[in-house]
Structure 1
Amino acid sequence: MENHRSRLAVLSNLTRHSLDNCALFVQTCLLCAGDGGSDGLCTACRADLAPLPAAHCPICADTAPAGLPCPHCRRRRPAFDTLHAPFIYAWPLNALIHAFKYGRRLDMAHALSSLFAREAPDGPVRPDLVVPVPLFAARLAERGFNQSLELARAFAVRMAAPLDDTLCVRVRNTPPQARLERAERARNVADVFVVKRAVTGLAVAIIDDVATSGATLDALAAALKKQGAHRVDAWVLARVFYSKT
């Protein structure tokens, strides 16, 4: 517990640093302030990240017996073909993502994107195109950056695939999914994405920071398939194990 409080205190203190200290975050562990690696975490803190268990749905990566689709995916398969995540959305990764996303911590982008690119599992096919989940223009202006784009840059390099952050547009400023109950999430993002040009026959990888119900990824994948995508696979840094009953 004491170690947990110490890490929280360090993370809180780090939020007060400016972008001028960007180099520090690459070399110093974001959690314990010890010597960190290229992903911003020391060996001990990196070992605390909770990997996605083997027992997960092969479609949406939620809790399910290994190799078997979850009840939700059996009732209605999402538009994306598979969802991949290296980690569970749990301490300490959830604290890092929250600071990055809502604390406007762009200085953490290199660390988290390096972690994502290294640990993200391979998919069944190599993508022809990498697309970040877009933010609504007003929210992008408020935050100053799109966290999904920062992750997608490193992922595209790893996959040796082109990145296109202009292909998809979010046309409505919807309430954040994190504030909604499961049943509201799909309605919240219905028809919220527009794909500006055809992607006929392409295998597209869509990238986001966190998946909870998968509704946002489902909606974006549906829009891409309407424009001819042959396959859409989703990758996120962390997966919330979310009840779909």
Structure 2
Amino acid sequence: MIRQIIDNCLPFNQPCVFCAAGNTAHGICRACLADLSRLPLEICPRCAHASPFGQLCGRCQRHPPAFDQLHAALRYSYPLDAVIQAFKYGKRLELAASLSFLLAELAPAATLQPDLVVPVPLARTRLLERGFNQSHELARAFAGRINAPLDHTLCERIRNTPPQARLNRRQRQENVRHSFSVNHRLDGLCVAIVDDVATSGATLEALSLALKKQGAKRVEAWVLARVFYSKT
């Protein structure tokens, strides 16, 4: 109720993060919300990549990922990609609330209510360079929306790996292998990990594996946007 009052109160109205139009809810106007690229109707129930008839894709059948399910809100395409880039590299932290709204409202519902929300951590040197962790900001707003506790100190990135953007799938997997540590046991818990974009899923896979080694019963990955390739 408080959120609705704020969203509809003139002094708190914010311009649309996509087109700058006024009179928005959550900083996104209705026209832009309708125009955002949704996921294909038929996706793999495990990794959220395109899959005929919505069946488990061949890759997940051959090599099941450590995460139990990937929840993606939208397709990574314009204009969402530009807003994510501004948020991530332009230090536009005020975008976290609007982006977390998209994640919480448009991603498929969780199978189980998470016991814990965890952002994908940055290496310490990368955090110092950037000044903030965009996944932490997104996870903090997302955890508030789904009423789940956030723990940003549970996981650490123990290797400062090169950026994933220019690597192929196999290189991405090798790049993040053994990159994360988890500080304490999570026996029987359902953990939600949050990141901005999923491309190959290698980072989510590596972090999920570390969480399960510490006893997590279920790990679900939540991303704002999913990259889709022409071939699966």
Secondary structure of 2:220's aligned partner: strand
* Corresponding position of 1:85: 72
**Runs of 4 or more above 6 Å deviation:** none
Q: 1:147 aligns with which of 126, 134, 140?
A: 134
Q: 1:137 aligns with which of 107, 121, 124?
A: 124
1:132-185 per-position Cα deviation (integer Å, ceiling 9, x unaligned): 100111111111111111111122123221110000000111111112111211
CA RMSD of aligned residues (A): 1.7
Q: 2:153 aligns with which of 166, 171, 179?
A: 166
Mark the CA change 1:39 to 1:175 in structure 2 (over 3 Å): closer, same or farther.
farther
Q: Distance in 2 between matches of 1:217 and 1:164?
A: 17
Q: Distance in 2 between matches of 1:90 and 1:168?
A: 29
Q: 1:108 aligns with which of 75, 95, 99?
A: 95
1:43-67 per-position Cα deviation (integer Å, ceiling 9, x unaligned): 1111111111221111000110233
1:195 lines up with 2:182 in the alignment? yes
Mark the CA change 1:196 to 1:148 in structure 2 (over 3 Å): closer, same or farther.
same
1:240 lines up with 2:222 in the alignment? no
Counterpart of 1:123, as a letter, is A
Mark the CA change 1:25 to 1:75 in structure 2 (over 3 Å): closer, same or farther.
farther
Matches within 5 A, 1:27-106: 27-106=14-93
Which sections of structure 1, spanning at least 5 residues, go unmatched? 1-23
Q: Distance in 2 between matches of 1:112 and 1:159?
A: 14
Q: Distance in 2 between matches of 1:238 and 1:156?
A: 17
Counterpart of 2:143, as a letter, is A
Secondary structure of 2:117's aligned partner: strand
How far 1:36 moved relative to its partner?
Answer: 4.9
TM-score of the superposed pair, with normalisation by structure 2: 0.90
Secondary structure of 1:50's aligned partner: coil
Mark the CA change 1:244 to 1:162 in structure 2 (over 3 Å): closer, same or farther.
farther
Counterpart of 1:72, as a letter, is R
Q: Is residue 13–residue 22 contact of structure 2 (8 Å, CA) maintained in 1?
A: no
Q: Distance in 1 between matches of 2:116 and 2:63?
A: 26
Q: Is residue 73–residue 102 contact of structure 2 (8 Å, CA) maintained in 1?
A: no
* Corresponding position of 1:215: 202
Q: Aligned pairs, how many? A: 222
1:60-86 per-position Cα deviation (integer Å, ceiling 9, x unaligned): 001102331112111100000000111
TM-score of the superposed pair, with normalisation by structure 1: 0.86
Q: Is residue 195–residue 224 contact of structure 1 (8 Å, CA) maintained in 2?
A: yes
Identity, % of aligned pairs?
61
Which sections of structure 2, spanning at least 5 residues, go unmatched? 1-10
How far 1:39 moved relative to its partner?
Answer: 2.7
How far 1:25 moved relative to its partner?
Answer: 10
How far 1:121 moved relative to its partner?
Answer: 2.1
Q: Is residue 96–residue 141 contact of structure 2 (8 Å, CA) maintained in 1?
A: no
Counterpart of 2:225, as a letter, is A
Counterpart of 1:106, as a letter, is L
